[in-house]
Amino acid sequence: MADYQAPLQEMQFVLEALAGLGTITRLSPFAEATPDVVEAVLGEAAQFAAGVLAPANRIGDLQGTRLENGGVRVPREFAEAYRQFVAGGWPGLAFPTDQGGQGLPYVVGVAAEEIWQSANLAWSLGPLLTQGAARAIAEHGSAAQRAQYLEKLVTGVWSATMNLTEPQAGSDLAAVRTQAVPEGDHFRITGQKIFITWGDHDMAENVVHLVLARLPDAPPGTRGISLFLVPKFLPGPDGQPGARNNVSVVSVEHKLGIHGSPTCVMAYERAAGWLVGAAHEGLACMFTMMNHARLCVGMEGVAIAERAYQQARAYARERVQGRVPGAGARTAIIGHADVRRMLLTMKAQIEAMRASAYVAAASLDLAHHAADPAERARHQTRVELLTPVIKGWCTETGQQLTSLALQVHGGMGYVEETGVAQYFRDARITTIYEGTTGIQAADLVGRKILRDGGAALRELVGEMAATVAGLQRHEAQLADVRAALKEGIEAIAAAGAWLAANHARDPAVPGAVAYNLLMLVGTVLGGWQLARAAAVACDRLAAGSGDAGFLAAKILTARFYAGQIMPAATAWRRGIEAGCEPLIALADEQF
């Protein structure tokens, strides 16, 4: 099993050349986040991941978690890793200093998150949810809630969860039945929640649950859902965990992958809870946490693919088998054309996904902190457009790439001892977490494209077209990249026009074409970022600056993506324009 090494050179390149780290660090909250500081932080994160998190990854997969005496026990190595994580100040990396954080940009936090996820995906889910809950409380909590809970969550002393669904509800949160009955200055929460990631554990002093429930006078549907803060232990007068709340773990799920991450069924029996935000507006409050989680889960698709790629690459360099045509001696399989195809497919798509995710995260920093209100609004619109794409496209692609990594190993990949099968299993949850790919696609089409008449999508296409124009100065090196990006842009524009012309005539159209449209936008988005990277590489090579081998690989990777991945954009477009008649016409009994 290959050791994990964070791809720091690649990450730094993306942050500086594509995500605009220099622009972000000129914003007032981030003046101290200079490139050398960011480089040092990510370097330390990489060392922690390689030395502490990655060695515990296999242990978590083999040992799993267990329910014991009413509480969840995780592997000892997970708890020790969390202790060191908190001691190092890592949980609050991208939170404001007045909340107990380190004050770095969100995009830097996303880069660090990738490192945690690649090293140990199951473990990383705990801090991810805690960060999301902290953001929800910071935005929607009362002054008293922020004072009592925020710093403890930001610093990781306490952890947090997101309690949404129930056995009868699934993704249909309108069917949530958990009740919240007023009692003095708080509420009594009663109900059962399922699929609660890190719902209980023995790593932190307290677990704070954010729970969706209904008040007695709640209207039906999603408009009647409120959000409540329900701690495992009730804080005492000194702010420390006191009496146990009426919250219990019914069971821990046995899952395909991420065995080290406890997925719990939680029971609330008149548990004390406090309303977060306004009554009946819980879903809006929860979406602050959920949208953060969706971007981070999209990053999981990048991270687990990177880990699998590193293992496949190492195996391909070491495994001697067969002969390359024209060569006499047996060779390492990295010399075989089909293995090279698989490895370069992984490399190109990982780099495309990483760049796209970092660029989206940078837009979130600008949406919150840019000086110009119009610029803030523009970047907020961009984040909203890209969030379902990053979540859906990156996780779908991540699954494909972990499968390729297994294929590179041949039969040895199917044997658990080599380790690559774990990445294949762990990746499978990512398209389901925080809304399936179908839900992300429906969100992209319904809320992000049709709602504004396609304005945000057209603005994105306009920026892509400007890149195509700029690539003309690199025609000798990047003619194929420019042509492929131009064709991809035309596919998005044509698909958007077809959707605008046809969605009203048949209510089934948006849902039927949504997946194809999400994958089309993701494919071209990734190609756009690789084209931008290749142009930067051309400029730096011409100037004689930078690592020549790294930059030359950037150009070759972009050309591979243009020739082998971008043609899928035309296929996605054709699938959209084919409409939905066969899909809808097939009777249920004909399936």
The DSSP-derived string for 283-339 is HHHHHHHHHHHHHHHHHHHHHHHHHHHHHHHHHHHH-B-S--TT--S--BGGGSHHH
Angle between helices 106-119 and 35-48 (to 10 degrees): 20
Residue 574: which of 494, 507, 508 has the closest Cα?
Answer: 494
pLDDT averaged over every residue in the chain: 96
Residue 484: which of 551, 556, 570 has the closest Cα?
Answer: 570
pLDDT in tens, 386-419: 999 999 999 999 999 999 999 999 999 999 999 9
pLDDT in tens, 351-361: 999 999 999 99
Tokens of 276: 């977060």
Cα→Cα distances 480→330, 351, 477, 533, Å: 34, 18, 8, 15
CA dihedral 304, 305, 310, 312 (to 10 degrees): 120
In order, the DSSP letters of 102-114 are ----HHHHHHHHH
Residue 13: which of 548, 550, 397 has the closest Cα?
Answer: 550
Domain 159-281 indexed as CATH 2.40.110.20: yes
Residues 423 and 402 sit within 8 Å (Cβ to Cβ) = yes
Under DSSP, the state recorded for 160 is E
Q: For the chain, what are the domain ranges?
A: 8-154, 159-281, 436-582
Specify the CATH number for 8-154; select among 1.10.10.10, 1.10.540.10, 3.40.50.150, 3.40.50.300: 1.10.540.10
The reply to whether 159-281 shares the fold of 8-154 is no
Q: What is the predicted pLDDT for the residue at 170?
A: 85
Q: Is 434 a catalytic residue?
A: yes
Q: What is the predicted pLDDT for the residue at 415?
A: 95
pLDDT in tens, 270-307: 999 999 999 999 988 888 888 888 999 999 999 999 99
- Cβ of 298: how many Cβ atoms within 10 Å? 33
Tokens of 107: 């995009």
Q: What is the predicted pLDDT for the residue at 344?
A: 98
Give me the catalytic one of 139, 434, 459, 463: 434
**Type of residue found at 465:** A
Under DSSP, the state recorded for 414 is G
pLDDT category at 461 given cuts 50, 70, 90 is very high
Q: Report pTM.
A: 0.97
pLDDT in tens, 563-575: 999 999 999 999 9
Q: Assess whether pLDDT exceeds 90 at residue 440.
A: yes
User: Cα(99)–Cα(139) distance, rounded to whole angstroms?
Assistant: 12
